[in-house]
Amino acid sequence: MYHYLKWAALSLFFRRNLRYIILILVAVVFIFLADAVYQDLADYQRAVGHPENILYLLIGKWIVILLSAGLLLFAVSRLGFGGSRNKSSKREKNLPPETIDAIDQRLDRFKGSQKLRNRSEILLEKRKKRD
């Protein structure tokens, strides 16, 4: 049973954070790709006999790596690992406080100790009253 709970929790984590996981993977791929492209182009420039262009390639490589690292840090910071964040809905953020209080008052009516009955319970009570 514990095995199923682990898979359910992992599935929920991936479902909620899929876009940030994809951003992390894209950033890592860009970092490795920038290094591979730099190596290839630097070797080509050395073979052709233009080693002065390697400086521009190195600057471009580090720009791509720094942008990818920024994307990586952003995506990692946005991952949700727990319910400790205060997540209020977008609708509540835009409402004035008195409207939120009115909504809370309406919700408090349903939080009471009222007994909720379904259709079958009502029919059974009617039948008992007839008998």
> Using one digit for the tens of pLDDT, what is the confidence trace for 36-75?
999 999 999 999 998 899 999 999 999 999 999 999 999 9
33 to 21, 28, 72: CA distances (angstroms)? 18, 9, 15
Q: What is the pLDDT of residue 89?
A: 56
Nearest to 12 by CA among 79, 109, 62: 79
User: Which two three-digit tokens encode residue 90?
Assistant: 């977008």
Closest CA to 72 of 18, 33, 29, 34: 29
Q: Is 52 helix (H, G, I), strand (E, B) or coil?
A: helix
pTM of the predicted protein model: 0.56
pLDDT in tens, 9-35: 888 888 888 999 999 999 999 999 999
For the residues 103-130, what does the mean pLDDT come to? 78
Quote the pLDDT of residue 27.
96
Q: Which residue intervals of 17-96 are DSSP H helices?
A: 18-48, 54-78, 90-94
